[in-house]
Amino acid sequence: MQQDAPLWIPSQDLLTKSPMARLMAAVAVRHGLSFAGPDAFHAWTIENPGLFWTEVWEDCGVIGERSGPALVHGDRMLEARFFPEAKLNFAENLLAHAAKGSGDRPAILFRGEDKARSVLSWDALSALVSRLQQAFEAMGIGAGDRIAAMMPNMPETVALMLAAASRGIIWSSCSPDFGDQGVLDRFGQIGPKLFITCDGYWYNGKMQDVSAKVGVVATKLGVPVLVVPYAGDAPALAASLPDGRTLADAIAPYTAAPVTFAQLPFAHPLYILFSSGTTGVPKCIVHSAGGTLLQHLKEHRYHCGLEAGERLFYFTTCGWMMWNWLVSGLAVGATLCLFDGSPFYPGGEVLFDYAADERFAVFGTSAKYIDAVRKAGITPATSHDLSSLRLLTSTGSPLSPEGFSFVYEGIKPDVHLASISGGTDIVSCFVLGNPLKPVWRGEIQGPGLGLAVDVWNDDGQPVRGEKGELVCTRPFPSMPLMFWNDPDKAKYKAAYFERFDNIWCHGDFAEWTAHGGLIIHGRSDATLNPGGVRIGTAEIYNQVEQMPEVAEALCIGQDWDDDVRVVLFVRLAPGVTLTPDLDKAIRTRIRTGASPRHVPAKIIAVADIPRTKSGKIVELAVREVVHGRPVKNKEALANPEALALYADLPELQK
């Protein structure tokens, strides 16, 4: 999986002038230290959390009142509190560049497939936020109340969130492709005071009507509805609802004024995000304003090297935590590049067209997208001017070694590729890119600054060169405040602290590399245990999905004969059938590329593979179906009908 030479090496400019390099040098001077390199600096950040996060606050120019200790109860994960006496406002920090002479510069660029384009300046964004916050106040919505939004990834969504945050209102969003029950499973738990929706959205060139769904959700939630125009008829939809009005009507009485910002505790709730699993009703994960701001500033400023005025893009929907991550780019003065719709409509090069036209500095996407581009034969390195692109990030699932190679061969040979991994649980990353370290094929570069990431075995011992559980051994600011409706924190403790006492266990199956990087082998709750040996599903996908005959794959462990046997489902390329020769070729590829233990007992061709709305395959749901157990939260799936393909398969009865 590793090579003798790295795929990318940081330039001398990055090693001396990047924001991370400058921070490291400044910390060394201020504290009379000398760092041998980025690993030594990372070690200092986790040994001195109070000092480090104060440095981030100061260096990033956080607007707020910082007084008192930086960290209390730092030895107890569940009781730790960062900046308990500080006050700030999340929206004020994201809109700060509007007051720094950037007024007419673009804050947000938007493309909705080939149907919509718009630009919103910093001044225009601030003006819209001002009118919205006045409207929210007139509706009687204030600090601690919830607003729930089923919206596309468009500029109005960002403005609505900022208006909510400016008053201390808690924001929660999902994408409009959720079914009505999926929306209610989420928003029905949090008691919102307002439901915001679009009037329709574009996908694959077609307008998707949401009116029937909105009617059901609005009736069940029993709250006023704000309809934002996009792809349908906003006035007609608003008029059809008992308490509905359009965005234009809601803000018509108000003129833009300077935005006002409520000064709130560092730990004031900002977002409610939802787990996307299929093992029950989604968990409602509450994140703080201060913790989210500091963690995102750290990742954008130092790990991504973002500078004011640069163009930041991530392909995401409003139902994935990468949307929350993306919008925080405003805090460093970046221009957000939003896209909504299919990344392959009207053609497979649409996102690279956008990147070239708008000169992205950072292009964020998923490992599945990179693999799809590779399999489609698209090579932007030869077809697009990506000279401005300096960082490409990948998340959602482990990026295969072949995916790493393709980025450098097919997209851009000198780009910094950062495979990143974290999650909704922390609204950020545990492990990600580092501009001061080389990129090695198949490896994530390392842990985030200030995060005490490690890999432990089942006995709770740190391990090197072998697979184990990804853990974090010390507190960090973007830990959830709580789960909603979990007053004694029983669900919260069970989710992260049941495995090891006072240690965050993230649920990823991981491994340190010889270079100090990490490999994620898949979710640890989906690992396979044939003969008692733990195998990561990503190790199998890395082999089989490189075969041109296989479009994608899903692997589970089936209980069989007092053991577990590996079952591999494959969705084949068009026109391909699973012949005995192909079955043998798949087994040979896995045996030689991974190990004999990885070779599946059964290989079965299927027409579709179920996935969540954010594109993650759902191994656990398929495992439940195969074992005849119910899947409790099918509404989390983009294609729930695919589960039927796995029920009562005769091949698995023998």
Listed residues 203, 231, 265: the one ending a domain: 265
Residue with tokens 């994608």: 552
* pLDDT band, very low/low/confident/very high, at 486 (cuts 50, 70, 90): very high
CATH of the domain at 254: 3.40.50.980
Q: Is residue 347 part of a domain?
A: no
Structural domain includes residue 536: yes
The H helix count followed by the E strand count for the chain is 21, 32
- In this predicted model, what pLDDT tens digit does every residue of 30-76 receive, in sequence order? 999 999 999 999 999 999 999 999 999 999 999 999 999 999 999 99
CB within 8 Å of 185: residues ≥ 6 apart: 281, 282, 633, 635, 636
Domain finish residue from 233, 265, 297: 265
Tokens at 466, concatenated: 């072998």
The span from the first CA to the last CA of the chain, in angstroms, equals 35
Range of the domain at 621: 529-653
Q: What is the CATH number of the domain that holds 597?
A: 3.30.300.30
| pLDDT recorded at residue 279 | 56
How many domains does the chain divide into? 2
Distance (Å, whole) CA 11 – CA 22: 14
Of 434, 399, 449, nearest to 419 (Cα)? 399
Q: How much of the chain exceeds pLDDT 70, in percent?
A: 98
pLDDT interval class at 536 (50, 70, 90): confident
Q: Helix 180-187 vs helix 211-221: angle between axes, to the nearest 10 degrees? A: 30
Segments of 98-213 assigned E as strands: 106-112, 116-121, 146-150, 170-174, 194-198, 200-203, 206-209
Query: In this predicted model, what pLDDT tens digit does every residue of 157-183 receive, in sequence order?
Result: 999 999 999 999 999 999 999 889 889
Return the exposure string of 611-633: e unless at least 16 CB atoms fall within 10 Å of the residue's CB, then b: bbbbbbbbbbbbbbbbeeeebeb
Which domain-ending residue is among 265, 299, 319? 265
- At residue 248, the pLDDT reads 98
Task: List pLDDT tens digits, range 427-462.
Answer: 999 999 999 999 999 999 999 999 999 999 999 999
Tell me: the pLDDT tens digits for 259-298? 999 999 999 999 999 986 555 678 999 999 999 999 999 9
Distance CA 282, CA 485 (A): 12
Strand partners for 557: 566
pLDDT tens digits, residue range 107-139? 999 999 999 999 999 999 999 999 999 999 999
pLDDT 10s digits, 5-35: 999 999 999 999 999 999 999 999 999 999 9
Q: What is the pLDDT of residue 1?
A: 39
Torsion from C-alpha of 341, 346, 350, 354, nearest 10 degrees: -70
pLDDT interval class at 538 (50, 70, 90): confident
pLDDT digits (tens, 9 = 90+) for 296-351: 999 999 999 999 999 999 999 999 999 999 999 999 999 999 999 999 999 999 99
- Within-domain flag for 180: yes
The answer to whether residue 640 is domain-embedded is: yes
Task: Look up residue 159 and give its two tokens.
Answer: 């403005």
Indicate the pLDDT class of residue 650, thresholds 50, 70 and 90: very high
DSSP 369-427: HHHHHHHTT--HHHHS--TT--EEEEESSPPPHHHHHHIIIII-TT-EEEE-EEETTTT
- Asked if the structure places residue 589 within a domain, the reply is yes
Task: Decide: 290 and 84 in contact? Cβ < 8 Å.
Answer: no
- DSSP alpha helix (H) spans, 188-288: 211-221, 234-239, 247-251
- Residue 564 is predicted with a pLDDT of 85
Beta carbons of 8 and 443 less than 8 angstroms apart: no
**Strongest mean pLDDT among 101-105, 413-417, 588-592:** 413-417
| Cα separation, 137 vs 142, whole angstroms | 7
> Is residue 465 pLDDT above 90, yes or no?
no
Q: Record the tokens describing residue 433, joined without a space.
A: 């890119």
Rounded mean pLDDT, 93-110? 89
Q: State the pLDDT confidence band at 3, using cuts at 50, 70 and 90.
A: low
Q: What is the pLDDT of residue 635?
A: 78
Q: Could you tell me if residue 619 is inside a domain?
A: yes
Dihedral pair phi/psi, residue 506, rounded to 5°: -85, -20
Say if CB 631 and CB 278 are below 8 A apart.
yes
Question: Alpha-carbon distance 459 to 462, whole Å?
Answer: 9
Separation CA 428–CA 398 (nearest Å): 16
Q: How confident is the model at residue 410 (pLDDT cuts 50, 70, 90)?
A: very high
Residue 279 in tokens? 């093992």
Across all residues in the chain, what is the average pLDDT? 94
For the segment 491-505, the average pLDDT, to the nearest whole number, is: 95
Residue 560: inside a domain, yes or no? yes
Average pLDDT of span 140-159: 98
Instruction: Say if 436 falls within a structural domain.
Output: no
Q: What is the pLDDT of residue 397?
A: 83
CB 325 within 8 A of CB 296: yes
pLDDT digits (tens, 9 = 90+) for 558-595: 988 878 899 999 999 999 999 999 999 999 999 888 88
Question: Burial level of 473, CB count in 10 A (0-12/13-18/19+)?
Answer: middle
Cα-based angle 504, 506, 512 (whole degrees, multiple of 5): 100
Task: Please tell me the distance from the alpha carbon of residue 68 to that of residue 642, in angstroms, as a whole number.
Answer: 54
